[in-house]
Structures are given as C-alpha cells and as structure tokens.
Structure 1
Amino acid sequence: MADTFIPGPDRARALRGAFGRFATGVTVVTTTTERGPIGITANSFTSVSLDPPLLLWCPAKTSQRHDAFVGTAHFALHVMGTEQDAITWAFANTAEAFEHCDCSLSEHGVPLIAGCPVRFECTIRDRIDAGDHTVIIAHIDRVTTEDGPEARVFLGGDYGHFSAL
C-alpha cells in the first residue's frame, strides 16, 4: 500500500523512514580540534565532482560535534568495512573513541583510521547552511584504498553489506 504525504513536522518520522529506504555507506569522519582529535559516524556522504575532486557530507546542527567539523580546515572521511562495526558504533556515541581503532595522524594532525576500504583526506572548500544540517563540500587531497574489506551498508536503520551476484 502506497503512502503519499507532504513533508512537515507532523510527518518527520515518515520522511526519515522514506530516506532510510535508500542504502548508504557508513563512514567515520575525523578531524583535530584544540582539545584533540575527534570523530563522528555519518551516512550523509556523496561524491560531487571528479574534476576537481570533490565530495560532500552533512553534519547535523544538533550534534555537539557540528561546530568542530564545520570550523575545521581538514578532515578525513573513512568508508567503513564490515569488520569495523565496533568503531562506527563507538564514534556514534562519543567523539573520542580512538581506543577502538588503529590510527595515525596526517601532516595536518587529522586521525587516519587504518583498515578501511577507502579513506579520503580533504580540505574544506564550502560550508552551506541547509536546514537542520550543514553541507560541507571538500576538495579531496588524497585517497587511500585497501583490498579486502567489504564496505558496510546502512539501510532501513540497520547495518548490512552488498553481495554481488
């Protein structure tokens, strides 16, 4: 049975559910602050351009980590693998969950999580106010890929993975 609706405050749950029907990857975004390194789990990520190489992600304004990520110049976005659920859950709950992962620091002091299928090291280019989120568009400075780990997928509020036929 189809459910057609006009999005509004009274249908926020339905809109969230509709968005949840689109499979996304699971990422952890990291940066450094005056207090030290932080991270956040995010699924609001997409490619923007190949030339120049750009991506975007969107931190929620309600997040206590929002201002740190919007105010930084550099970050790393890690596409997480199926064996890294403990890391993604940890960063969903706290900004300082680095004890759950093996990481090193970039030349900009940004934490780089090891073992991810893909990692993008970025410099912020644009910050766009967009409702209850900020759209961060960034230049991709460096990409690291690793063979082996499958990327984690998020669909309908749950983790999964993609199996090619």
Structure 2
Amino acid sequence: MKVDTRQLRNCLGHFATGVTVITTEVDGHPHGATVNSFTAVSLDPPLVLVSLDRRTKACGYLEDRPFTVNLLREPQDDVALHFAGKPRTEPVEWAHGEFGPRLPGSLAHVACSPWRSYDGGDHVLFLGRVEEFEFTGGDPLVFYLGEFRHLGTAFETVPWMESADCPSTLDFSWLRPVS
C-alpha cells in the first residue's frame, strides 16, 4: 500500500506536541529553527532527540555542534513563527551559555553536546547529551492540528499513579545483577 504523505501528515497532526526552538552557533552567529519533533531518550546517560528536515539550513548547522532546546511558553507563538520563517519586526533577544545561544523567557532550556546523528529518511535524528538545563513555571506553547493551542485545566489526579505500571510503585527487588 502506498502511503499518501499529506494524509499521513494530517493524521500525525492529531498528536499534540510542545513547541521548541533549537538554537546553535555557527561562525559566531546564533541560529534557530522551530521544531516540534523533540523527545527525551535516556536519563543515564542523559539524552534527548530532535528531528530536523535534512533540506533545511538548520539541519546542516547541527551536525557535530552543541545545541540548545528551548521549550516555548505561552504566549511565545511569535518566537515560534519567527524561527519557522515568518520573521517578526523586533530583534530576537539572545542569552549566551557555555553550550551556545538560548532564548530567554522560554519555559525551559536543555543545553546539549552532540552525541550521535542518524538517518531518519527525509529527516536527520540528532541525539544530544544533556549538559545543563533550567526550567521555570508556566504553561507551554502547544501545537495541535496545525495551530497553536492552550492547555486546559489539569486533572485532579494523575491517571497512572494508581496503575500497576507507575514507576514509583514498581517493585524491582526481584531484579538481580548477573554474576
């Protein structure tokens, strides 16, 4: 069966994501790209993954360079649009850290050294080793069905806290190292 890529994109748009701007420095100049393909990979070692279209300049900029994942907060939709190719009129404010530029005012930032990159079809998957991070309170900028959205009211309880799969309630005492 041949997959209709437009319909696949429409289907995948039903998965709500946060909005990030990936930033790096090239020849002393900061660069960024809006990305919603971001995920945590591992806590030990601390790794995250971003996926970039291989045809973009940003994809070429990330190869073997430190980068920062800036998790945008509500209402930074103008920042997201700026780094998606719809520049705003006022200049971008930058903060400079040990692992490159970041965007002040973001909900969080995760600064990474390059770990590995992998072929992901028309994208490149970049894994970064988390070197430093910072987060603040607030609501994230959310993307769903091609539009920025707001979070609704939080649930009173976390649904998985009472399930058998809750990590904090699992008993791993049966697990022994192999000698």
- Quickly name the TM-score band, shorter chain normalised: 0.7 to 0.9
Indicate the structure (1 or 2) with the bigger Cα radius of gyration: 2
After TM superposition, list the pairs within 5 Å mapping 1:88-103 onto structure 2: 88-93=80-85, 100-103=91-94
Distance 1:101 1:34 in 2: 18
Query: Cα offset for 1:59?
Result: 0.6
Query: Cα offset for 1:64?
Result: 2.6
Distance 2:2 2:98 in 1: 44
Structure 2 unmatched runs, 5+: 156-179
After TM superposition, list the pairs within 5 Å mapping 1:12-161 onto structure 2: 12-34=5-27, 36-69=29-62, 71-93=63-85, 100-108=91-99, 110-147=100-137, 149-161=138-150
Distance 2:102 2:90 in 1: 13
SS of residue in 2 equivalent to 1:151: coil
Distance 1:98 1:160 in 2: 23
Query: Cα offset for 1:73?
Result: 2.0
Query: Cα offset for 1:65?
Result: 2.2
Give the share of equivalent positions with the same residue, in percent.
31
1:43-94 Cα deviation digits (max 9, x unpaired): 000010111111100010121322112x242010011011211111001006
AA aligned to 2:110 is F
1:113-141 Cα deviation digits (max 9, x unpaired): 11111110001101001100000011111
Structure 1 unmatched runs, 5+: 1-5
Kept after mapping to 1: 8 A contact 2:78/2:88 = no
AA aligned to 2:104 is A
TM-score, normalising length: structure 2: 0.79
1:24-53 Cα deviation digits (max 9, x unpaired): 110001000026110000000001011111
Query: Cα offset for 1:156?
Result: 0.6
Displacement over 4 Å in runs of 4+: 96-100
Kept after mapping to 2: 8 A contact 1:90/1:100 = no
Count of residue correspondences = 154
Distance 2:131 2:139 in 1: 23
2:159 aligns with: none
Distance 1:99 1:38 in 2: 16
Alpha-carbon RMSD across the aligned residues, in angstroms, is: 1.9
AA aligned to 2:26 is T
